[in-house]
A = this chain, B = another copy of it.
Amino acid sequence: MTEPISLTTALASFTELWSPRIVARVNDYDIRVAKVHGEHVWHVHDHTDEFFLVLDGELTIALRDRTVLLRRGDVFTVSRGTEHKPSSQTGASILMVEPSGTLTVGDRHDEVPAHVDATTGHIL
C-alpha cells in the first residue's frame, strides 16, 4: 500500500483532456480521474458498467434515448451494453470506476477524434 493521494494534486499534475489517470486500484478495478471539455465519442462497453462521479464542473452523458446531466457531486452508472457519449460544455473533472483494462472508447465506437485518448488509463 502507498500513501493517500489528493485528487486535487492528481488533477493538477496533468493537462490532457479525455485522458484518464489511474489514481488507485481496488482488486481488479481502477479508480480513474480525468479532465474533460468538449465532446467524447459514442461508444459502448459490452461487458462492463461504468461509474461516473463529477468532482467539479458539469458532465453530460448522452444516451440513445435520453441525456443525463451530472453536476458536481452527482454520481451515475452507465450500464453495460448502453451506447453513450460523454461531453462537457463548461469543462469538468470526473472520477470513474471500472475494471482495469477497460478502454476509454469501449468495445465499439464511432471514429475516434484526435482529441480523445483511446487508452486503458495512464499511471499517475
Interface residues, chain A, CB within 8 Å of chain B? 1, 3-8, 23-27, 29, 31, 48-51, 53, 63, 68-71, 73-80, 82, 95, 97-99
Contact = CB atoms under 8 A, between A and B. Distances in A.
Nearest to A59: B4
The A interface, classified by DSSP as helix, strand, loop or mixed, is strand
Nearest to A54: B4
6 contacts: A3-B68, A4-B69, A24-B77, A26-B98, A27-B49, A29-B29
A5 B74 contact: yes
Q: How many copies does the complex hold?
A: 2
Contacts of A79: 1
A71 B6 contact: yes
A26 B3 contact: no
Contacts of A49: 25-27
Among the interface residues A77, A80, A99, which one has the most CB atoms of the partner chain B within 10 A? A77
A35 to B, nearest CB: 15
A50 B76 CA distance: 20
Contact of A7 (B3, B5, B73, B82): B73
